[in-house]
Amino acid sequence: MTRPNIICILIDDMGWKDLGCYGSSFYETPNLDRLAAEGMRFTDAYAACPVCSPTRASLMTGQYPAVVGITNFIGTNRAHPSKGKLIDVPYLKQLPLEKRTIATSLREEGYQTWHVGKWHLGEEAYYPDRHGFDLNIGGCGWGLPMKGYFSPYGLTTLEDGPEGEYLTDRLTDEAIRLLQERDADRPFFLNLWHYAVHTPIQAKPDDVERFQQKATVLGLDQINPFEEGELFPTEHKRHLRVTRRRVQSDPAYAAMVYNLDWNVGRLLDALERSGASDNTLVVFTSDNGGLSTSEGSPTSNAPLHEGKGWMYEGGTREPLLVRWPDVVPAGVECSVPITTPDWYPTFLEAAGIDPADSGTRLDGVSLLSLLRQPDAALQRDAIFWHYPHYGNQGGTPGSSVRMGGYKLIEFFEDGRLELYNLAEDLEERHNLAAAMPEVAARMQRRLAQWRASVEALIPEPNPDWPSSCS
Ligand SMILES: [Ca+2]
């Protein structure tokens, strides 16, 4: 078979429940719902981290964030608390040049490699064109569009469009142009990492109007969607109030999702017109859970618990749609847990390369058997997370492991264990750690063994922590 093209669409901060095909009744995503109907929809797909940069580094390298050394988001966000009862561990502020990426591997195999959109893995010396991409359009050190979603964008890696042009439209235009102008004799890898739907929540006025009307019709404008949560003590004299959104009802956020969906539809139509659709592997997913507990809390991940920045399912469970007409059966669902480092070996195997010949350490497994048959078994017993940081959304440092239907979280502040049976308790309401001590102990040992094997850094106690805050 001819080697497939690969399109990896990564959305920023999109939650598990943000698509119609994942159960949203307020947001509208007809094109993504169609993508799901034409391919495979995963129920238990995960991001490797509850925040941006680590998941992105993991996708590029095929390694867990703790292995790469990027365990928190990169940037100078002053809101980021680095101390609480514990002191955050140090982490890299760029993807090291010696790290081999999937783009490098595919380019060596003759692929055209294009990065379009958000990068967030370091400043200029670490941009996508230093990591195996032929082209970088719009990728830089920014974790969000600092000057907003409407042109002028002020991005050094993207020429400004006409005033008022919308960034998600523009990045899609660029991607479509690349499809049209490509060398049709060689396969391509399009890494389309949208800035949407990260803050600032800004959408096109007509789309906002559409969802304002819908909110009115549904009575959503009459309810208070927020729930004031606990105060999280972080640094000395500094506290964060958690404000949770309980229901999806923000018209501007809905409009951003709607526009994103429209743009994915435009890209897929262009792919269809190019004649390459049947032999193109399209992956659509997100880098962390929906933003639901801070910064305006634009979305809700309910029934999942919490969101971006947290160790709970709302922080890491993601929408994942995969279409590849020549290989993937249409309209099927897969409930096997998968995680970000799986993509490197998956893309390699899809391109006809044995992942064992990758020339780099790979922490994930190829999903190709699953893509052919959604109930195939993967050869692994556990997947892991390690987030030794305070999120700026209220989450506290911890690590976790999923084995079968069970998930164990170990929180570093107090050593607390939380064990959930996700098959029966998706909302993570019933902590079974005390009721099932043997399962908890076995999973904790497995987690500790993995942390030791990757030399994961554990936060130390903060000697300056005022006892009055604890
Ligand atoms: Ca993100």
Specify the higher pLDDT residue, 465 or 219. Answer: 219
102 in a domain, yes or no?
yes
421 in a domain, yes or no?
no
426 in a domain, yes or no?
no
- Alpha-carbon distance of 337 to 382, in angstroms, equals 9
341 in a domain, yes or no?
yes
Tell me how far the alpha carbon of residue 27 lies from the centroid of ligand 1, in angstroms: 19
pLDDT for residue 384:
98
pLDDT band, residue 84 (cuts 50/70/90): confident
111 in a domain, yes or no?
yes
Tell me how far the alpha carbon of residue 77 lies from the centroid of ligand 1, in angstroms: 14
Q: What is the pLDDT of residues 340-373, one digit of tens each?
A: 999 999 999 999 999 999 999 999 999 999 999 9
Residue 215 lies in domain: 5-382
Tell me how far the alpha carbon of residue 352 lies from the centroid of ligand 1, in angstroms: 31
Tell me how far the alpha carbon of residue 340 lies from the centroid of ligand 1, in angstroms: 13
458: three-class secondary structure by DSSP: coil
Tell me how far the alpha carbon of residue 246 lies from the centroid of ligand 1, in angstroms: 20
Look at residues 31, 5, 39 and name the one whose alpha carbon lies nearest to residue 328: 39
Tell me how far the alpha carbon of residue 439 lies from the centroid of ligand 1, in angstroms: 32
Q: What is the pLDDT of residues 54-82, one digit of tens each?
A: 999 999 999 999 999 999 999 865 545 67
pTM of model > 0.95: yes
pLDDT band, residue 143 (cuts 50/70/90): very high
Tell me how far the alpha carbon of residue 53 lies from the centroid of ligand 1, in angstroms: 7
pLDDT band, residue 237 (cuts 50/70/90): low
199 in a domain, yes or no?
yes
Look at residues 152, 201, 91, 38 and name the one whose alpha carbon lies nearest to residue 458: 91
Check whether 133 has a pLDDT greater than 70.
Answer: yes
Tell me how far the alpha carbon of residue 270 lies from the centroid of ligand 1, in angstroms: 27
pLDDT for residue 81:
63
388 in a domain, yes or no?
no
pLDDT band, residue 470 (cuts 50/70/90): very low
Check whether 383 has a pLDDT greater than 60.
Answer: yes
Percentage of the chain lying above the pLDDT 90 cut: 91
pLDDT band, residue 88 (cuts 50/70/90): confident
CATH of the domain at 41: 3.40.720.10
Neighbouring CB atoms inside 10 A of 71's CB total 26
Q: How far is CA 49 from CA 33, 89, 92, 205, 235, in A?
A: 25, 15, 15, 33, 23
Residue located via tokens 């729930």: 227
Tell me how far the alpha carbon of residue 354 lies from the centroid of ligand 1, in angstroms: 30
For residue 57, give the amino acid letter. A
449 in a domain, yes or no?
no
Structurally, the chain folds into a number of domains equal to 1
